[in-house]
Amino acid sequence: MDNIAGTKSSLTWAVHISVVALVLLWLFPTAGLFVSSFRTADQISASGWWKSLTTSEQNLTLRAGAPANQVQDGALYVIEGNLFDEAEAPQAKIGTWGISARELGAFQPGDTAELRNGSKVTVQENGDYRQTSEEEFSGRRGSRIFVNAELPPDFTLENYEQVLLSGNSQDSMAKAFFNTLTVTIPATIIPIVIAAFAAYALAWMDFPGRALLVAFVVALLVVPLQLALIPLLKLHLGIGIGKGYLGTWMAHTGFGLPLAIYLLRNYMVGLPRDIIENARVDGATDFQIFTKIILPLSFPALASFAIFQFLWTWNDLLVAKVFLIDASGQTTVMTNQIVELLGTRGGNWEILATAAFVSISVPLVVFFAMQKYLVRGLLAGSVK
Amino acid sequence: MHPAFAGLVTIVIGVGGCLCYFWLSNQFLDKVLFPAKGPNAGRNINRANLIRPWLFLFPALFALSLYLAYPVVETIRLSLTERVTQTDGTTVYEFVGLKNYAQMSSDPKFWEAMFNNMFWLIVVPALSTAFGLLAAQLTDRISWGNIAKSLIFMPMAISFVGAAVIWKLIYDARPPDTSQIGVVNAIYVGLTGNDPVQLLTVPFWNNFFLMIVLVWIQTGFAMVILSAALRGIPEETIEAAIVDGANPFQIFFKIKMPQIMGTIVVVWTTITLVVLKVFDIVFAMTNGQWGTQVLANYMYTQLFVSRDWGVGSASAMVIMLLVTPILIWNVRNARKEMR
């Protein structure tokens, strides 16, 4: 359609390249978090995450074996081994090496250097070394050798272990994960049931004041929930619910209802009138029409709202902070846990990135699995 | 009782209770109150049908009134009162007129929040809609457009708090002469050789850095809606333009844009609503320090840090006032449709 003769090819290329650039730009931030969650603290502070995907050059300080390991070979005393094994570091390829911190790259692999104590050391590319001396080695520790090594990409699951399994209450996301789940599921299901009945009444039942009620729902759609915080907290404290799950479920239900009713009503109004009228003629009651015909037919709209409400309650911080989290901290949710980690462990990116990724992984799975319904819901909710 | 178990019980009680309520109340209406038999069968059916809608509506109306309508009224009332500790130690809320509003308007932090919010209200909807439109148009006719769209849409699923962590890593600054792990500073130091900058503390521009986070999240939303609108444009109008010799840019700006103007307005207002309520991003990234305060976070600070419910409610009313035009516009549109 847009292809005007002659301009097609160059423009198409420009479009493809721009889209690639746009997608990369949008993915880059999340990718950074994802990659960082698989790196150790040292790796994260040593280089940007984008460098971790390729082999990286790193300066390492390693040690030859301790004098205790020496063997006598004729007139020479010899210490042999592999520098990386000695340090229990991952294997790497040595580019250059040196024997003092001031001359890091003085020698190539295979060269022989003379140390200050008179011994000679040869280091191979793979880290094998041979240190020889005419006199017996003394002291407790081996000689230091500075290598510049090419490290292959190296990733670890340690952070996830620390965040999910360690049981360290400060870092642990395990409990917060279950708390979030506990908040989310009832807060998603209950408004659907309540809203479905109301939406049916607003869509298919005739009664005075119906138009007014629809307007009421549309108006409440935009009321900022910030307004509700204090009055409802007062109410909850007043009737004895206090801070806790029950109050949070009720609050999420109340805040989710306008969108639920609005989406479901719009969908139900569009269902074919014939089916419903035929059922009425056949003697079905409204209750039967609703449960046997309307509900099954409305599945796409129900799914749309369920995803909205799930994402919203899972990602919520404000409602949880006001209605759920008390001084004991037993009922913390993941978003709150992450905010606290930002305060207490602001520099520990390995913990932060992993915690954040744990919390966004579930919405991401839901998002990619149910995207069709999400898009449908967005379109039904906005394009009017 | 373990909370997860309590959650299960709540689901069962909540859902079961709702279903029981609807079923039993309908049964009661049809079988006991106005049975559809006997001498008054016809009248009874009519009466039952008058009452039934309200049975269906009652739980929803109750929850809506209690959780959204009542708080609006109560917030207005609270914003006009002040907590006073009496001589016997009890606290009461006394009517003080507009004193809270006066106190708020003499607070420089409030005006900072107002100014920043206005800035947010211009930048975020504009950039999100522009990027969304660009992405929608570019992905419209290419074979892998749907994959590209779904990747740009993805940040929608990420919480504001998660996004705050993601972008803090991007804005991170390390001491000079060490390896920069935040990409912005890595590029900046690499290009200019200057010392790295703590981006979130740079006055005025730090607001912009926070806004980018929301733009990143909202662009996908704008793209999805606008992409559907672009698909809905009648082909004939575009064909006619091509026949008349319009170039692709003219087609986009002069043929397509005017036809989806209504949708652009809807997208713009929806994002405006999100912006007015933005709290988590500012709370997690700067908590309003370094001149980045916004209304929602100002309100939170007043309510739960300063514990001043009067001023907190007054600032909540300011947010309410700002959404009111959109509220009225929405209601008028809805009423137009009902006719």
The Cα A294–Cα B158 span in angstroms is 33
Least confident of A53-57, A234-238, A299-303: A53-57
Chain B contacts in chain A segment 318-347 (CB below 8 A):
318, 321-322, 331, 335, 338-339, 342
Mean pLDDT of A226-237: 85
Give the single-character DSSP code of A115.
-
The tens digit of pLDDT for each residue in A129-160 reads 888 888 887 777 777 888 877 777 777 787 78
Split at pLDDT 50, 70, 90, the class of A6 is: very low
Beta carbon pairs, A and B, within 8 Å: 350
High-pLDDT (> 70) share of chain A, %:
94
What is the reported pLDDT for B89? Answer: 67
Interface-testing mutation among A173, A221, A223, with chain B (most B C-beta atoms within 10 A): A223
Give the single-character DSSP code of A134.
S
ipTM of the complex, rounded to two decimals: 0.84
Mean pLDDT of A20-25: 89
Three-class secondary structure of residue A336 per DSSP: helix
What is the reported pLDDT for A51? Answer: 75
Mean pLDDT of B267-275: 87
What is the reported pLDDT for B96? Answer: 77
Q: Where are the domains of chain A?
A: 1-28, 56-151, 161-382
High-pLDDT (> 90) share of chain A, %:
1
CA B60 to chain A, closest CA, distance in angstroms equals 6
Helix residue spans in chain B (DSSP H): 3-27, 41-64, 70-79, 99-105, 108-139, 145-153, 160-171, 183-192, 205-231, 235-243, 248-250, 257-259, 261-276, 280-285, 295-300, 309-338
Test B7 with A182 for CB contact under 8 angstroms. yes
What is the reported pLDDT for B130? Answer: 92
Mean pLDDT of B269-277: 86
What is the reported pLDDT for B128? Answer: 92
Residues of B in Cβ contact (< 8 Å) with A214: 334, 338
- Does the structure show a pLDDT above 80 at A166? no
Stated as kind and residue range, the H or E segment containing A302 is: helix A299-315
Mean pLDDT of B188-205: 80
Mean pLDDT of B222-236: 86
Other beta carbons within 10 angstroms of residue B263's beta carbon come to: 21
Test B159 with A254 for CB contact under 8 angstroms. no
Chain A contacts in chain B segment 11-50 (CB below 8 A):
11, 14-15, 18-19, 22-23, 26, 30, 49-50
Q: Residue A88: left if φ>0, alpha if ψ -120 to 50, beta else—which one?
A: left
What is the reported pLDDT for B215? Answer: 92
- Does the structure show a pLDDT above 70 at A24? yes
- CATH 1.10.3720.10 holds for A161-382: yes
Split at pLDDT 50, 70, 90, the class of A384 is: very low
Tokens of A72: 């006598």
Split at pLDDT 50, 70, 90, the class of B44 is: confident
Rounded to a whole number of angstroms, the CA Rg of chain B reads 27
CA A180 to chain B, closest CA, distance in angstroms equals 10
Split at pLDDT 50, 70, 90, the class of B214 is: very high
**Strands of the sheet with A93-98, listed across from one edge:** A56-63, A144-151, A93-98
What is the reported pLDDT for A169? Answer: 63
- Does the structure show a pLDDT above 60 at B1? no
What is the reported pLDDT for A231? Answer: 87
Split at pLDDT 50, 70, 90, the class of B196 is: confident
Cβ of A299 under 8 Å from any chain B Cβ? no
Cβ of A18 under 8 Å from any chain B Cβ? yes
- Does the structure show a pLDDT above 70 at B282? yes
- Does the structure show a pLDDT above 60 at A383? no
The more confident residue out of B42 and A209 is: A209
What is the reported pLDDT for B129? Answer: 92
Rounded to a whole number of angstroms, the CA Rg of chain A reads 33
- Does the structure show a pLDDT above 60 at A113? yes
The tens digit of pLDDT for each residue in B241-266 reads 888 888 888 888 888 888 888 888 88
DSSP states along A88-113: TPPP-EEEEEESBTTBTT-B-TT-EE
Give the single-character DSSP code of A163.
I
Chain B contacts in chain A segment 20-79 (CB below 8 A):
22-23, 26-30, 32-33, 36, 44-50
Test A315 with B72 for CB contact under 8 angstroms. no
Cβ of A373 under 8 Å from any chain B Cβ? no
- Mean pLDDT, chain B, rounded, equals 83
- Does the structure show a pLDDT above 70 at A37? yes
High-pLDDT (> 70) share of chain B, %:
96
- Does the structure show a pLDDT above 70 at B4? no
Mean pLDDT of B138-163: 86
Mean pLDDT of A205-225: 85
What is the reported pLDDT for B287? Answer: 80
Stated as kind and residue range, the H or E segment containing A214 is: helix A210-221
The tens digit of pLDDT for each residue in A335-355 reads 888 888 887 776 788 888 888
A121 touches A130 (CB < 8 A): yes
- Does the structure show a pLDDT above 80 at B231? yes
Chain B contacts in chain A segment 241-270 (CB below 8 A):
245-246, 249-251, 253-255, 257-258, 261
- Mean pLDDT, chain A, rounded, equals 81
Chain A contacts in chain B segment 287-326 (CB below 8 A):
296, 299-300, 303-304, 309, 312-313, 316-317, 319-320, 323, 326
- Does the structure show a pLDDT above 50 at B150? yes
Split at pLDDT 50, 70, 90, the class of A247 is: confident
What is the reported pLDDT for B127? Answer: 92
Test A29 with B170 for CB contact under 8 angstroms. yes
A376 touches A304 (CB < 8 A): yes
Mean pLDDT of A80-101: 77
Distance of CA B51 to the CA centre of its chain: 36
Test B75 with A230 for CB contact under 8 angstroms. yes
Cβ of B143 under 8 Å from any chain A Cβ? no
Three-class secondary structure of residue B256 per DSSP: helix
The more confident residue out of B31 and B299 is: B299
- Does the structure show a pLDDT above 70 at A7? no
The tens digit of pLDDT for each residue in B6-39 reads 667 777 887 788 788 888 887 787 777 777 666 7
Closest partner CB to A384 (pick from B26, B312, B333): B333
CATH (residue range B100-338): 1.10.3720.10
Type of residue at B146: N
Cβ of A362 under 8 Å from any chain B Cβ? no
The boundaries of every CATH 1.10.3720.10 domain in chain B are 100-338
Mean pLDDT of B201-225: 88
The more confident residue out of B30 and A312 is: A312
